[in-house]
Amino acid sequence: MPQIHDLTALEQATAVRRGELRSVDLVEHYLTRIEHHADTVGAFVTVTGQAAREQARALDAVAAGDRARRHPGPLYGVPLAIKDLTLTAGVRTTFGSAAFADYVPSVDADVVRLLRAAGTVSLGKTTAAELGCSLYSEGAVSPPARNPWQLGSTAGGSSGGAAAAVAAGLLPFAQGSDGGGSVRIPAAICGLVGYKPTRGVVSGGPLGAGGFGLPTHGPITRTVTDAAALLDAMAVPVPGEPYLPPPAPPGGYLAAARRGDPGPLRIGRFTTPMLADEPVHPDCLDAVDVAAVRLADAGHEVVDVPAPVGPEIWPLFETVWYVLALSPVPPQREAQLLPLTRLLRRRGHAISAATLVGTLAETQVQVRRAMRAIAGLDLLLCPTLSTPQAPVGWFTETGDPAEDFDRQRRFSPYCAVFNVTGQPSVSVPVAHSPAGYPVGVLLTGASGADATVLAVAAQLEERIGWAGRHPEIWRAGDSATVKASEPLRTGGAAGSRRSDSR
């Protein structure tokens, strides 16, 4: 008998629409799993169990009254969680930092408001890297985010808790954000789908300066169709955003992912790292080979091409990243920041306005050059990472934050380039390493071609047959099973390292 968390998010929503499950059943099921396993994988900073129960009961009441008259949305009643970098009104939002350990915003980020409007239910805030500055999630306000496939390894970052929760079966899917790979990196490490949409597709408001267009919200899910459905909920145009969103595909992103056959495409394959002169692990190279074969079998032309940029772009990205670390922090709390964050901020403060303007101008020159180099290609295929995993504590083990930062560049020399260009990019799991780690690949399309990226990712997912592969923790614990004609057996109250009933 399948358990509730064996169902995809879309399957769970279908069960709610049919009256086979209630939203409150889903919420109680996941809160029970969070109670048992969240600290093991370092998934949550704050759990909002009571608020989630109340919201689920309200959704169930509306659904019961309206079921005969209308269909709720495709994600109605399904739980998720919000990354701890994302403003959530009335809920502790620490930005992954002890400097904000008790901060409670008074406003929702647009994406939080839109996800609530779609009928999803937030169970709390997931572990994130401090101020989003690193590709691992090991801070001072929660346990480190660990890879559910191997608990001694990192879940990545900065959306590490979100990926750990989804891979461990503590959530069906999760909201993340990606300024330099922060959705795709943890997705690759944890065997998930991590989608970074085209710049402008998802609102970054209502606060903030836009981060020069690098950061965007995106979904972390088990399947491509779940990612597309969550993107549909996020991708609602909001007035005043600085980047004009491309037109949505007919029927939305879920329809594009379900379409299945985008037609024969020309896909450029490369494995040379772009931000560092770094050897690539054989498991990551093998994963690209596997993906290339499957895509060719699907009728696409896969051709070897040079990487669109090389390590010469790193100083440009590095300069922008230092400035992005300058989020407002009360001066009296600077000492509570982690060594890496303090280093990045010191370097950011040393950058003049003239240097920043010149860096942004040169970055745009490099982007134009890269886009012209790949003209005629529909998609790019490359590794997500240079190696499949890293142990918890590996980035910080020397005690030198400069070495920490350089290790991150060498570990992830692909993802951030596509934040600079603004292209849609997805990490898809395609293989297991001999050591048992998931290994992902990146598919990246032209700006605005999100529908094509999702359709090809769905093709690849189907041919790989990843569905049903889970870490051992997936089956751990006593959880509710799915049986539509009988009452469900659900767990009791849930908590976490820190709960918040607001």
* Mean pLDDT for all residues in the chain: 94
Model's pTM, two decimal places? 0.95
Instruction: State what percent of residues in the chain have pLDDT above 90.
Output: 90
Within-domain flag for 86: no
| Mean pLDDT computed over 16-24 | 95
Q: What mean pLDDT do residues 250-266 have?
A: 94
- Is position 316 within any domain? yes
pLDDT at 482 over 90: no
pLDDT at 485 over 60: no
Q: Which amino acid would we find at residue 128?
A: A
- The answer to whether residues 163 and 155 touch, using CB atoms and an 8 Å cutoff, is yes
How does pLDDT run across 314-323, given as a tens digit for each residue?
A: 999 999 999 9
Residue 476 counted as domain residue: no
Q: In this structure, is residue 286 part of a structural domain?
A: yes
By mean pLDDT, which of 30-34, 198-202, 422-426, 433-437 is the weakest? 433-437
Of 34, 460, 430, 458, the residue nearest 226 (C-alpha) = 458
Residue 18 within a domain: no
Q: Is the pLDDT of residue 486 over 50?
A: no
Alpha-carbon torsion, ordered 185, 234, 42, 225, to 10 deg: -70
Domain hosting residue 307, numbered range: 127-160+171-468
How many structural domains is the chain composed of? 1
Give the residue from 190, 217, 227 showing the smallest Cα distance to 455. 227
pLDDT grade for 498, boundaries at 50, 70 and 90: low
| Lowest-pLDDT range of 75-84, 293-302, 488-497 | 488-497
* pLDDT range class, residue 64, cuts 50, 70, 90: confident
Active-site residue numbers? 83, 158, 182
| pLDDT tens-digit series, residues 268-297 | 999 999 999 999 999 999 999 999 999 999
86-110: per-residue pLDDT in tens? 999 999 999 999 999 999 999 999 9
**Alpha-carbon 83 to chain mean position:** 9
Q: What number is the average pLDDT over the span 389-409?
A: 98
Residue 492's pLDDT band, with cuts at 50, 70 and 90, is very low
Mean pLDDT of 381-392: 98
Query: Domain for residue 475, yes or no?
Result: no
Q: Residue 314: name the closest of 388, 416, 162, 423 by CA.
A: 416
Query: CB atoms < 10 A from the CB of 349, how many?
Result: 11
- The CATH code of the domain that includes 395 is 3.90.1300.10
- The strand order across the sheet containing 216-221 reads 173-178, 216-221, 193-196, 425-432, 438-445, 379-383, 266-269, 301-304
The answer to whether residue 153 sits within a structural domain is: yes
Q: Does 9 reside within a domain?
A: no
Sign of dihedral through CA atoms 346, 347, 350, 353?
Answer: negative
